[in-house]
């Protein structure tokens, strides 16, 4: 069995994380050991890690993957990981990229396994999902459960529709706050994202996602009212024409009741009849 670096010892050498900078380092060996196993069915020839921190997960990924690219925006931590894993870098097994994962060029990776910085979870997720690569990602528990939620539940919303448009979303483990140092204020969750094409078509992906975002600002209104009231957000110049073209069943439903397939049907009518700008 491989002996990994002690996560607490890594923190002692690198310096304790700053929660004000969204630095919560995973230190529970059992959780760290399990994370790569959730990607065991994925192609791990080139694993992307966002938010390498002190390298505790990087250590496991180097054992599970052929090659790892780790992105870290904190220059001190990036330098620490380069020094700590100098041998892996020399072998060509590890590349450390210093920079913001929202703006740096991403490599041609095969899957992503990361303990994401929670403040940028949404932006990072929707940078990754359109690439069509599988991922195992750590989130705040509430965010993860909203991603995976089914229609007609309290957690279901635009995040659910948007994430499930790209992938099957599965919460595979709840992680207590005690597994981190410093501890976050909330529980976390590990999510497995398996990309797949949706079983519906949309005329324009950007419009579909913008339309979903718009109507969910009025999730408890009927779709009839939500379409009319949010035209300034969705960019519809003729919302009444959209309402006239839809059947009463859809118009009487609330956004929180519509699964992604039915949202796609409404968005298609809106695109065809609403004169989107």
Which residue ranges make up the annotated binding site?
24, 26, 51, 72, 100, 115
DSSP, collapsed to helix, strand or coil, labels residue 221 as: coil
Tokens of 179: 């597994």
Q: Which residues are annotated as a binding site for S-adenosyl-L-methionine?
A: 24, 26, 51, 72, 100, 115
d(CA 186, CA 167): 25
Q: How far is CA 182 from the centre of its chain?
A: 22
Strand order through the sheet with 94-98: 94-98, 68-72, 47-50, 111-115, 135-140, 188-195, 167-175
Tokens of 240: 């009444």
CB 227 within 8 Å of CB 239: yes
d(CA 35, CA 8): 18
Q: Which helix (DSSP H) or strand (DSSP E) does residue 230 occupy?
A: none
Strands 188-195 and 135-140: antiparallel
């Amino acid at each position: 069995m491989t002996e990994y670096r002690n996560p607490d010892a890594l923190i002692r050498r690198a310096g304790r994380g700053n929660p004000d900078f969204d630095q919560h380092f995973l230190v529970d060996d059992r959780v760290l050991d399990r994370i790569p196993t959730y990607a065991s069915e994925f192609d791990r020839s080139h694993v992307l890690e966002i938010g390498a921190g002190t390298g505790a997960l990087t250590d496991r990924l180097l054992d599970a993957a052929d090659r790892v690219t780790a992105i870290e925006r904190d220059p001190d931590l990036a330098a620490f990981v380069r020094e700590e894993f100098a041998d892996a870098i020399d072998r060509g097994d590890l590349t450390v990229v210093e920079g913001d994962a929202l703006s740096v060029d991403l490599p041609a990776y095969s899957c992503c396994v990361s303990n994401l910085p929670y403040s940028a979870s949404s932006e990072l997720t929707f940078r990754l999902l359109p690439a069509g690569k599988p991922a195992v990602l750590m989130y705040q528990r509430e965010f993860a459960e909203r991603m995976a939620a089914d229609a007609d539940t309290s957690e279901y919303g635009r995040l659910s529709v948007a994430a499930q448009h790209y992938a099957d979303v599965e919460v595979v483990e709840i992680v207590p706050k005690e597994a981190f140092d410093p501890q976050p204020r909330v529980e976390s969750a590990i999510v497995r994202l398996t990309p797949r094409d949706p079983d519906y078509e949309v005329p324009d992906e950007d419009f579909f996602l913008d339309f979903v975002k718009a109507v969910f600002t009025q999730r408890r209104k009927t779709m009839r009212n939500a379409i009319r009231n949010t035209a300034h957000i969705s960019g519809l110049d003729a919302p009444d024409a959209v309402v006239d073209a839809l059947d009463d069943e859809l118009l009487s439903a609330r956004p929180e009741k519509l699964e992604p397939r039915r949202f796609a049907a409404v968005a298609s009518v809106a695109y065809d009849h609403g004169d989107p700008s």
